Structure 1
Amino acid sequence: MTSRITLISPATSPSLRQARFDDGDSLDNGGVVKARSAAGSLPAAARVFLSPSVRCRETASALGLDGVAEAELAGLDAGRWRGRTLEEVMATEPEAVGRWLADPDCAPHGGESVRDVCERVGRRLDTARDTDGRTLAVVEPEVVRAAIVHALDLPLAGFWRLDVPPLTATELSGRAGRWNLRLGQPLAAP
């Protein structure tokens, strides 16, 4: 039995463009247009899951996908940094940001650490390994990173070294207790 999971990152939103910790904003017009133009380009799937964020739900809708939001697939909880740009946080809390980026167990913002999100997403990925067929999941970029770190058993420090562009597909296929990875395919009009 082979499980295939295609992780789709959300289309662009103001917070993505501004390097701002997600604040629940909607997709921007360009993101909606690109997602709609890619509708129909994804393979048929037995299941569709979503991060519960607005931008993931809107991306799925624009792609013509009807999915189930799952709390386990939520983006990293940035606590009190939510809605602020990384530049703003760096200006007021440079040491905290430095610790957060260097130590996967650190969560100076009061939310989740990198370890927390990787373990949460990893548990969800482990349950999917025993599911036959294809799953599509429209998820936050940090969920894609966490899934890759878990699937390839990478050190947690690798989390920050994985770039996940908007509206791309990353595919994991698993069987016999291991995952294979196909990285960042852009979604395009069929």
Structure 2
Amino acid sequence: MTSRVTLVSPAMSPSLRQARFYDGDPVDDIGAARARAAAGTLPAAVRTVVSPSTRCAQTAAALGLDGLEAPELAGLDVGRWRGRTLDEVGAAEPEAVTRWLSDPGWAGHGGEPVQRLCERIGRWLDVMSDTDGRTLAVVEPEVVRATVVHALALPATAFWRLDVTPLTATELTGRHRRWNLRLGGPLTGPDASATN
């Protein structure tokens, strides 16, 4: 039995554009247009799941996907930093940002530590390894990072070394909790150049 998991990152939103900690904003017009242009380019799947966020739900809808909301695939809870830009937090709490970026077990912002996110997503991926067929998952960028960390047995300190750009697909193929990774590529459709 081979399991395939295709992770799709959300289309561009104001928070992604501004390097602001996600606060529930929708995808922007350009992001929505690019997602609509890419509709139909993803492989057929047995199941489709979506992170419980506005931008992931809107991205899935624009791609023409009807997915179930998966609470276990929620993005990283950054506590009191939600809605603030990284620059704002860095200016107000420089030591805290340094610690957050270097210590995966730290959660001084009052949210979830990166290590816990990686463990939570790892449990989900372990279940997927015993599930036949393809799963499409429209998920937050940090969920993609955590999935790759777990799939490749990387240390959690590698989490911030993985860049996930909007509206890209990252594919995993595996069985028995052993995964192969196909690095993310942009989702493009026939009209993608019209939205540039």
Q: Match of 1:178?
A: 178
Distance across 2 between alignment mates of 1:69 and 1:183: 24
User: Over residues 7-64 of structure 1, what are the superposed CA-to-partner deviations in whole Å (9 max), with x where a residue is unaligned?
Assistant: 0000000000000000000000000000000000001100000100000000000000
Amino acid at match of 1:8: V
Equivalent-residue separation in structure 2 for 1:99 and 1:185 (angstroms)? 31
SS for the counterpart of 1:23 is coil
d(CA) in 1 for partners of 2:41, 2:60: 13
Whole-angstrom distance in 2 between the partners of 1:185 and 1:12: 15
Aligned amino acid, residue 90 of structure 1? G
Deviations 1:145-187 (A, max 9, x none): 0000000000111000000000000000111330000011110
Partner residue, 1:36: 36
Instruction: Find the counterpart in structure 2 of residue 130 from structure 1.
Output: 130
Match of 1:116 in 2: 116
TM-score by length of structure 1 reads 0.99
Output the CA distance in 1 between the equivalents of 2:78 and 2:155: 21
Q: Does 1:143 align with 2:109?
A: no
Q: Give the whole-Å Cα distance in 2 for the aligned partners of 1:111 and 1:71.
A: 16
Aligned length: 190
Gap runs ≥5 in structure 2: 191-196
Instruction: Normalising by structure 2, report the TM-score.
Output: 0.96
1:70 aligns with 2:70: yes
4+ long deviations beyond 2 Å: none
Q: Deviations over 1:87-121 (max 9, x none)?
A: 00001000000001010000111000010100000
Report the counterpart of residue 166 of structure 1 in structure 2: 166
| Equivalent-residue separation in structure 2 for 1:77 and 1:180 (angstroms) | 28
- Which consecutive unaligned segments of at least 5 residues does structure 1 have? none
